[in-house]
């Protein structure tokens, strides 16, 4: 069983929709939770990161972490065609130096 599970999609939504991307994990030692965005034929770039449980908002993006359920989410409000990319969740334990990535969810926002 993978440490981090992520629905690979693909996910296709109309412009303006609210998008929900999710990951579950099994390692209770994970303390840092990240979302990376990867455009086609590019390297991933950090989009959001949170420490422990709670919510974090940045513009149209909201990251949620529920450690009791071992579940994290990324919400995108008012989605735009420029949000079309693959979104990868990633996690790190407090003592770790290596990220564990989910498989990535491919999102397409249609104009």
Partner 1 sequence: NAGVTQTPKFRVLKTGQSMTLLCAQDMNHEYMYWYRQDPGMGLRLIHYSVGEGTTAKGEVPDGYNVSRLKKQNFLLGLESAAPSQTSVYFCASSWTSGGTNKETQYFGPGTRLLVL
Cβ proximity to partner 1: between 98 and 111 the closer is 98
* Closest-CA residue to 65 (of 31, 104, 97): 31
Between CA 56 and CA 50 the distance in angstroms is 7
| From 11, 84, 99, 108, residue interacting with partner 1 (rule: CB under 8 A) | 99
The correct pick among 19, 21, 34, 74 for binding partner 1 (CB under 8 A) is 34
Q: At which residue do the structure tokens 């579950």 appear?
A: 24
Nearer to partner 1, 68 or 97 (CB): 97
Write the binding mask 71 to 90 for partner 1: x where contact by CB under 8 A, - elsewhere.
Answer: -----------------x-x
Q: Which pairing describes strands 19-25 and 4-6: parallel, antiparallel, or unpaired? A: antiparallel
Cα dist from 4 to 15, 49, 84, whole Å: 29, 16, 22
**Residue numbers at the binding site for partner 1 (CB under 8 A):** 6, 8, 32, 34, 41-46, 49, 88, 90, 92, 97-99, 101-104
């Amino acid at each position: 069983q993978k440490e981090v599970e992520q629905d690979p999609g693909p996910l296709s939504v109309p412009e303006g929709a609210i998008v929900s991307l999710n990951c579950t994990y099994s390692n209770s030692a994970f303390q840092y939770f990240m979302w990376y965005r990867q455009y086609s034929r590019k390297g991933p770039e950090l989009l959001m990161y949170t420490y422990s449980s709670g919510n974090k908002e940045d513009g149209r993006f909201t990251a949620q972490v529920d450690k009791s359920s071992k579940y994290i989410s990324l919400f995108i409000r008012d989605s735009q065609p420029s949000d079309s990319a693959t979104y990868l969740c990633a996690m790190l334990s407090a003592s770790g130096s290596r990220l564990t990535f989910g498989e990535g969810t491919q999102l397409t926002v249609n104009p």
